[in-house]
Amino acid sequence: MMKTRNFKLLACAAALGLAAVSLSIAETPAASPAVAAVTAPAVEAAPPAAPAAPVAAVADIPTDPDFAAYMNNGAPVKLTGVAGPGHNAFMMICAALVLFMTLPGLALFYGGLVRSKNVLSVLAQCMGITGMVTLLWWAFGYSLTFDSGSPIFGGMHFAFLKGVTSAPNTNYSYWVSQNVFSMYQLMFAIITPALIIGAIAERMKYSAIMLFCAGWMVLVYFPLAHMVWGVDGMMNGVWNAAAKIKAIDFAGGTVVHMSSGWSALVLCLILGKRMGFGSRSFAPHSLVFTMVGTGMLWVGWYGFNAGSAVAADGVAANAFMTTTLATAVASFVWPMMEWIFRGKPTVLGFCSGAVAGLVVITPATGFVNSNGAVIIGIAAGIVPFLACTWIKNLFKYDDALDTFGVHGVGGTMGALLTGILATADVNGNLNTNLKDIVGKSLWIEQLKAIGVTIAMAVIGTLILAYLIKMVVGLRPSAEAEFQGLDLAEHGEAGYHPEEGMGHSSPVKEKTFA
């Protein structure tokens, strides 16, 4: 008690001392002129200094119009044919992130959802599609998609990537090299057919998958991508004033998700159900893989969505924000739906919700604000959940990994919501050709684009599936399917548990001298 009292007294004394010093300083009179003359000899006044140069505002410093154009992602005045290093670097990173979505993101996501005897088949399908689509893209795919030509197909001026150099193609970007842009768009072309394999996992021949995907790229993806994103595409409402359908799709709701999702549904119906479907457990063999793959997809999707601005600008920043909001909200809402209707929230539910959020926000990500993103996230956690549970159980189709429920249904809903929630406040490009319909009748144009996309996906899949069925067949033998596609189609096994028990592996690896 005495120590406390002494401390308080000392504190009060210190405070009074500081106050006294402050008062003495404040009240000390200024020295009189006489005193000043005694204490300091007179000094001849120096000539006045030159006036300081006015400090320019930061915005006034760059006077070069090309600098302003670069900073605002506008058309250059003098630096034509020159790529901007910052925008180029951004797009190269985004291209790598989109490839990361397939390898290893989608491979692990799908690979964890199948049974252990089929895990390598999924990885092989993702790898095979990557190489095959790259060859098609180099030979004619990029040209058919992004060369100007007709409202449905591009021309062939860029075949074998002829003329695709480090100079920008100003039809698509003022500051990004065309070779970088072409590789960025290649990554979209790779992941789209890879999404389809989720619906037919564990029961389609590798040769049939490769043939189907090659034909599907030509019949469905290349023309659809040109129609939506090509400079003279018939559904490019943002940039083509002459577009017949004035629709919008920022990053691939129709081109990527609807096309793959609806094709997946048709293909799985033609293929039929897996052996034992409905009477045997088809539980995922590794939800750990699926969770890791989900995280990779989420991270890579920033390149997918923000990169679709084709510049490191304000539109990309908005896409980054809306992607985060919609995905996080959907990853929460889906397992809450499980909790309500099934009693427990599952890790698979969190993963499915995240992917659904990514899918549904994709066409809208550069066109909606934060409130729109949250609305989309809530819808993405509810509607695809119902599609993957109630609708799938009602019609009894075997969409093995819910490609249609998430990508088909989610992509369709996202395309429609984009037409309702898009605002020019976050993307002034909507005022270029769509000023009169944004916020009014844009959703009708979206419905038209949805109809065209579904028709192309369904018809193209029907033609290819039955043609390939006649030529090489679609399904492996019953014995191969029972054994597992890893051993039957690839001669390998993803796991060797017998080795851990001291037994030799039944798989005999080939050795080469």
Encode 196-240 in three state secondary structure: HCCCCCCCCCHHHHHHHHHHHHHHHHHHHHHHHHCCCCCCCCCCC
In the chain, the number of structural domains is 1
Q: With respect to residue 507, please indicate whether it lies within any of the assigned structural domains.
A: no
Domain that holds residue 414: 85-490
Q: What is the mean pLDDT of each run of 10 residues along the chain (513 residues)?
A: 40 41 37 35 40 44 78 88 94 98 98 98 98 98 98 98 97 97 98 98 98 98 98 97 98 98 98 92 96 98 98 97 98 98 97 98 98 98 98 96 98 98 97 97 98 98 98 97 97 86 53 37
pLDDT at position 14: 42
Q: Global pTM?
A: 0.86
Rounded to whole angstroms, the Cα distance separating 397 from 200 reads 11
CATH of the domain at 387: 1.10.3430.10
pLDDT at position 78: 86
pLDDT at position 64: 83
Q: With respect to residue 48, please indicate whether it lies within any of the assigned structural domains.
A: no
Q: With respect to residue 182, please indicate whether it lies within any of the assigned structural domains.
A: yes
Rounded to whole angstroms, the Cα distance separating 111 from 201 reads 9
Q: With respect to residue 316, please indicate whether it lies within any of the assigned structural domains.
A: yes
Handedness of CA 197, 202, 203, 207 (dihedral sign): positive
Q: With respect to residue 28, please indicate whether it lies within any of the assigned structural domains.
A: no
pLDDT at position 67: 86
Q: With respect to residue 2, please indicate whether it lies within any of the assigned structural domains.
A: no
Residue in 462, 82, 412 with CA at minimum distance from that of residue 404: 412
Rounded to whole angstroms, the Cα distance separating 429 from 427 reads 5
Amino acid letter for position 288: V
pLDDT at position 56: 40
Amino acid letter for position 483: Q
pLDDT at position 35: 32
Q: With respect to residue 73, please indicate whether it lies within any of the assigned structural domains.
A: no
Tokens representing residue 467 in the block: 């043609």
What residues contact 435, with CB distance under 8 A and at least 6 apart?
Answer: 424
Percentage helix, strand, coil for the chain under 3-state DSSP, each rounded to 5? 65, 0, 35
Q: With respect to residue 281, please indicate whether it lies within any of the assigned structural domains.
A: yes
